Amino acid sequence: MWTPIIFFVLLSVLVLVHEIGHFLAAKKIGVKVEEFGLGYPPRLFGKKIGETIYSLNLLPFGGFVKLFGENGESHSDKASRDKGSESKRAFYNRSKLERAIILVAGVSMNFLLGVVVISIIFTNGVLIPSEKVYVQQVIKNSPAFLAGIKENDQIVSLNGKAIKTPQDLIVQTKEGAGKEVSLVIKRCTLEKIDNVPTGKENNCSTIEKVLVPRTNVSPKEGPMGVAISNLVVKKYPLWQAPIYGTREAFRMSYLIAEGVLKIFGQLIFKANLPSDVAGPIGIYQITSEAVKFGPLAILQLLGLLSLNLAVVNILPIPALDGGRLAMIFLEVIVGKRKLERYENLVSSIGFATIIGLIVLITFSDLNRIFKFQELIKHFSLPFR
């Protein structure tokens, strides 16, 4: 029941934050803002305050900012200019730097939202990888169970080889399958948050256990019969959270950009859309899963989507902010007048391309809709 409402709120917040960035930058620079709209036309209600109309529109998702002269100089604008009117406040009449600032402001606000969200999550606790592999669950009557291994035990080594990642244990277990192996176990009283270790340990003792990993066994149970993880929960104090939040936002943005470029590469060179790309329908499904996990998961989704929007919007694709920014750089090379001949055509092609991609991704979402459980398989415990 809550999924449609939360989905609507998430998308609205993302677009509104973006448009507020354009609005504030335009106002500060002195470009006339003709309208700031909540939702998309047709208009239901509008009130003019100063020179700007603040409107409520019928289509409820997001919002928009209409800048004076943002689509270039029209015939009426030329007539107004000849009469010495306020054409100096038109977007097209501002310097290249000022126009670039206004365009980048929307992306910057989305990035800032991502930083804020990640910082809030960091103050509540975030999962980070450690060099300690803990037992999360033990299957009854498995080799680990019979050897006396318990939940929360740390697996320190196997046959004398240090275990610092789950992959270390997987590799060493496969090598020792069907043979007797020696495990060094560290058993402590663990400090936990939401049943996840924080890395802080008390009253520790070291124990050696001997067992024989199974060779023919279901992947759901694994050779030893244990579920393992190297993740611990880390809480940052309020003064540290924004520092680490900013660093994490840059890291995530880099990974998102890398993923987007791979998607375009696969589309161009292989004419194939990766199966893990999600459009509006896919995001709705992910929102539904986040709702099940609670407010922190929803907040995490908001931060991730905001960073995605920032990265995608800054790409030099016509009709997006990055495409318009690229046109400003081209002005320096070819001149504004020459560029105006092709600007509308390039924008139209870019817009058509974006619509085509949305349609393609939506069809991909529909094709995958009955297989959605595969998207959340990482929530299952990896038994080894």
pLDDT for residue 276: 61
**Most confident listed range (56-65, 133-142, 214-223, 371-380):** 133-142
Residues with Cβ within 8 Å of residue 214, at least 6 apart in sequence: 142, 143, 177, 178, 223, 224, 225
Give me the amino acid identity at 32.
K
Q: With 0-12 CB in 10 A as exposed, 13-18 as middle and 19+ as buried, what is 345?
A: exposed
pLDDT single digits (tens) 38-63: 888 889 999 999 999 999 988 776 78
β-partners of residue 55 are 37, 46
Give me the amino acid identity at 262.
K
Q: Give the whole-angstrom CA distance, residue 37 versus residue 63.
A: 5
Q: Give the whole-angstrom CA distance, residue 28 versus residue 87.
A: 17
The model's pTM: 0.73
Mean pLDDT of 6-10: 89
DSSP letter at 145? H
**375 pLDDT higher than 60:** no
- Domain boundaries of the chain, sorted by first residue: 103-124+245-379, 127-234
Q: Give the whole-angstrom CA distance, residue 145 versus residue 209.
A: 11
**164 pLDDT higher than 70:** yes
pLDDT for residue 379: 40
Angle at which helices 3-29 and 96-124 pack, to 10 degrees? 140
Q: Give the whole-angstrom CA distance, residue 165 versus residue 231.
A: 10
Higher pLDDT, 24 or 367: 24
β-partners of residue 270 are none
pLDDT for residue 63: 83
Q: Give the whole-angstrom CA distance, residue 159 versus residue 176.
A: 9
pLDDT for residue 155: 95
pLDDT single digits (tens) 113-148: 999 999 998 898 887 788 899 999 999 999 999 999
Specify the CATH architecture of the domain 127-234. Roll (2.30)
User: Among candidates 281, 279, 284, 293, which has minimal Cα distance to 3?
Assistant: 284
